[in-house]
Structure 1
Amino acid sequence: MGILSDDVVIIRQSEKEGDPSVITINCPDKTGLGCDLCRILLFFGLNIVRGDVSTDGRWCYLVFWVIGKPNTRWNLLKTRLVEASPAFAWAFGISRCYLSDSESQPPDLFLLKLACSDRTGLLYDVTEVLYKLEINIEKVKISTTPDGKVMDLFFVTDTRELLGTEKRRDEVYEYLRDAIGDAMMSYDIELVSSEVTARSPASSSFAETLFSSLEEHPSGLQTSSSVSIAVDNSLSRAHTLIQITCQDHKGLLYDIMRTFKDFNIQISYGRFTIKRGKNCEIDLFIVQSDGRKILDSSKQDALVSRLRAELQQPLRVVMMNRGPDTELLVTNPVELSGKGRPQVFYDIALALKKINTCIFSAEIGRHLTGDREWEVYKVLINEEESLPVSRSKIEEQVWSTLMGWE
């Protein structure tokens, strides 16, 4: 136990507000570990301002300098990072967090049914409670009745794997009751049977409209048009060097690590720094799954093309007309393991609350295009009277929140 708490993950919190805290992780290595760890940091809302990664293929040493928030749950973060490391599996036997994605068993899926009186910010308050309780929203169906009542259906999984217990369900109820107050009319949680646990796709017509719109407006909202990616095989006899310069955004390191994980590429040494003006410089020495350099030009081009796309548009945001209504569409790529980007729905709800915009209905689905799967968020804006802000302002606010540029 002492090894896990004292050696695997060490967190040194900053003493001065605005200074980075330092997270050190020292554990056995596995392909995709960097992605898994960065995903946890993104889930906890941490901004990575600097990073160092070093591994010999069997043991790795990672250091992240992060900017947290006043309410960052550091002890819980440490627990989740330890659980994601192979050392956790070695100490307690084979754990789901150490099994490969193909071998791991999916967590139990629950349906949270919530009926409330509608008000601005209601959806954000609910998603914030679920976020604090480490309950992941896998799918959602939200609808508003003509008399101003909201029926929320959340398909969720529990990071703590306790939602099947009465104590955990009571805890969720109490948190929701405190956040929603008298507006909450009914509440129920039930385990979903295997027949309905499969992720439902976004409707074909809706998905086609979304992706055709993105093709018609390829520039869209981008993090930066000045992404630079260079491949060099001359500086190391054993490794390929990838050098990246780009603008920073929330989840940047996760997007890079996720791409390498999907390509089954291992990082032997890496350094990530943010310069003035939020410009990032990343140097990564990498090898393929067979331990060799990437010499095939077609493989280099495929990797560079994917990295460029992920860094320019890690998410896509589009406002569209749906008959007389306004529809907000947000989409992001899914890991090959099936994991979606964390906290997207939370950020959408937060952005709309900030500009006093109500949500009439919302859905989450998935769509396959080419060889990639996308998570798709469909939000119908309530225009009963008139939009408090312009459609372009809604699009920009959601994009800025998702990118962490506030």
Structure 2
Amino acid sequence: MGILSDDVVVIREPEIAGEPSVITVSCPDKTGLGCDLCRVILFFGLSIVRGDVSTDGKWCYIVFWVVGRRGRETRWSLLKKRLLGVCPAVSAASGFYNWYVRQQETVAAEEKPQVFLLKFCCFDRMGLLHDVTQVLCELELTIRRVKVSTTPDGRVMDLFFITDTRELLHTRRRKDETCEQLRSVLGECMTNCDIEPANVEMAAYLQASLFLPPSITEELFILELSEESRTSFKNLSVAMDNSLSPGHTLIQIKSPDHKGILYDIMRTLKDYNIQISYGRFYSTHNGSCEIDLFVIQKDGKKIVDSNKQTALCSHLRTELFRPLRVTVVSRGPDTELLVANPVELSSKGRPLVFYDITLALKMLHIRVFLAEIGRHVIGGSEWEVYRILLADDFELSASRDKIIDVVTKILMGWE
């Protein structure tokens, strides 16, 4: 009943090396579409350096100028396929357009990907967890939760709760492909590999918990600002203006740049049910960003309530200043790295966080003794919390401040 044309997403690679690639999206509009597109682009390791958004409420036209990481090849055809996957389809009968889009959104909200449990054993080595995470990311397997434990004799038991973007993990071929890719990276140190659907008890393990120890929430969410952080916060501004447009509220943002900054803005607006009618994003060479967004509420009206304006501006400042929380704490004789990642109301979170954490630890030559990912409700919001128990000899490689610094820079794209 719905169709997607190849013209919905057009990707033009640069003619001159070093220039941005251009991604053009033209499709029916929906609240949160910009957020969904930015999440996909971020998953492919691309940074948006410029963006233009325009919509009449029914149809939108979006252009992103993107650059990739040096030395990392982008799978453009696969990126196009994933971008098409989040675009609303065009109804073959235009008279049913609004009904069809509502149906698509309802179905998308009700459908949840099947969760699988990946179990394997191997002998520990430096960078093991990052190498495994990289394989899963390349296979488009999303890590929902992980529990990694190391025995005194150096054996590692890994439990990964994963979902498959391709929705093929129920097939023997896809399972064999996953295990073979892991074996090709881990070599003879891998002793066994098994993938099975998660049962009811396992699925319950993935649900957000209402409780985290107060010591953890305090470490993650009540951190003193360093002088450098205070300076960055002063360079960040979020303002609203209702005088420049008869039908829209203008949100003006000036902020230091970081990886996924446009995604952080879009997901915040999506959670507030704010629709963007027109917007421009520009990243400067000196490491700052300027964003102008003409927006309306879901009811099609301006944001005139002063309390709503204050709440939204405050939330945007917080998300731009510190979209992820990073700290290192003592747990008795052990030392734990903590990272908290905000989760959208749609239950989706920032991609590649675990990838970046394990990359940073591999770069620092720090081994992981235990790793867990869990979802928790903190202050009325859902967070994905990464708890990494570091090996006893971590201080031979880096101090706690150095770990926080490197992990933060990798996560924020400042490396």
Q: TM-score range by the shorter chain?
A: over 0.9
Distance 1:401 1:100 in 2: 36
2:340 to 319, 331, 339: 331
Secondary structure of residue in 1 paired with 2:89? helix
Note if contact 1:85-1:98 (Cα within 8 Å) is conserved in structure 2.
no
CA pair 268-180 structure 1, distance change in 2 beyond 3 A: same
1:219 aligns with 2:233: no
In the alignment, the residues of structure 1 paired with residue 121 and residue 80 of structure 2 have an alpha-carbon distance, to the nearest angstrom, of 35
Tell me, in whole angstroms, the C-alpha distance in 2 between the residues paired with 1:263 and 1:215: 22
Deviation of 1:102 (Å): 7.5
1:106 equivalenced with 2:108 (yes/no): no
Q: Counterparts of 1:351-390 in structure 2 under 5 Å?
A: 351-384=360-393, 386-390=395-399
State the match for 2:291 in structure 1: 282
Partner in structure 1 of residue 161 of structure 2: 155
Q: Distance in 2 between matches of 1:89 and 1:113?
A: 42
Q: What is the match of residue 309 of structure 2?
A: 300
Q: How far apart are 1:282 and its partner, in Å?
A: 0.0
Q: What is residue 174 of structure 1 aligned with on the other side?
A: 180
For residues 213-292 of structure 1, the aligned pairs below 5 Å read 213-219=219-225, 224-225=232-233, 226-292=235-301
Quote the residue 2:79 is aligned against: 77
Q: Which runs of 5+ in 1 are unaligned?
A: none
* Residues 220, 338 of structure 2: 8 Å contact kept: no
Secondary structure class of the residue paired with 1:257: helix
**Distance 1:397-1:385 versus aligned 2 partners, 3 A rule:** closer
Aligned ranges 1:80-159 → 2 under 5 Å:
80-87=82-89, 98-100=104-106, 103-159=109-165
Structure 2: how far apart are the matches of 1:117 and 1:155? 20
Structure 2 unaligned blocks of 5 or more: 94-98
C-alpha deviation, 1:178, in angstroms:
1.0
Match of 2:37? 37
Who is 1:184 aligned against? Answer: 190
Which residue identity is paired with 1:224? Answer: S
Q: Is the contact between residue 335 and residue 390 of structure 2 (CA under 8 Å) also seen in structure 1?
A: yes
C-alpha distance after superposition, 1:221-276 (max 9, x if no partner): 95931210111000000000000000111110000000010000100000000113
Could you say what secondary structure the match of 2:111 adopts? coil
Separation in 2 of the partners of 1:23 and 1:74? 10
The percent identity for this pair of structures is 58
TM-score norm. by structure 1 comes to: 0.94
DSSP 3-state at the match of 1:99: helix
Deviations along 1:166-192, one digit per CA (max 9) or x if unpaired, are 000111011111111111111000001
Cα separation, 2, equivalents of 1:188 and 1:147: 22
CA distance in 2, matches of 1:164, 1:102: 20
Counterpart amino acid of residue 167 in structure 2: E
How far is 1:201 from its partner? 4.4
Q: Find the counterpart in structure 2 of residue 54 from structure 1.
A: 54
1:97 CA drift (Å): 11
TM-aligned CA deviation for residue 103 of structure 1? 3.3
Q: What is the number of equivalent residue pairs in this alignment?
A: 402
The 2-side partners of 1:307 and 1:50 are apart by 19
Is the counterpart of residue 20 in structure 1 residue 3 in structure 2? no
Equivalent position SS for 2:269: helix
In structure 1, give the amino acid aligned to 2:84.
V
**Offset at 1:5?**
5.1
Mean Cα deviation higher: 229-238 or 95-104: 95-104
Residues 348-369 of structure 1 deviation map (CA, whole Å, 9 limit, x = unaligned): 0011111111111100112212
Q: Distance in 2 between matches of 1:49 and 1:400?
A: 18
Distance 1:227 1:385, change over 3 A: closer
Amino acid in the other structure paired with 1:51: G
Distance in structure 1 (CA, Å) of the matches to 2:210 and 2:109: 29
| C-alpha RMSD over aligned residues | 2.2
Q: Name the CA distance, whole Å, in 2 between partners of 1:371 and 1:170.
A: 41
Structure 1 contact 115–150 (Cα < 8 Å) conserved = yes
Q: Answer yes or no: is 1:404 the counterpart of 2:413.
A: yes
Aligned: 1:195 with 2:201: yes
| Residues 23 and 216 of structure 1, relative CA distance in 2, 3 Å threshold | closer
Deviation, structure 1 residue 215: 4.8
What corresponds to 1:321 in structure 2?
A: 330
Deviates more, 1:16-25 or 1:114-123: 16-25
Residue 244 to residue 100, structure 1, CA distance change in 2 (3 Å): farther
Give the CA deviation at 1:202: 5.8
The question of whether the paired residues in 2 share the 8 Å contact of 1:84 and 1:97 is answered with: no
Deviation for aligned residue 1:205:
4.9
The letter for the 2-side match of 1:120 is M
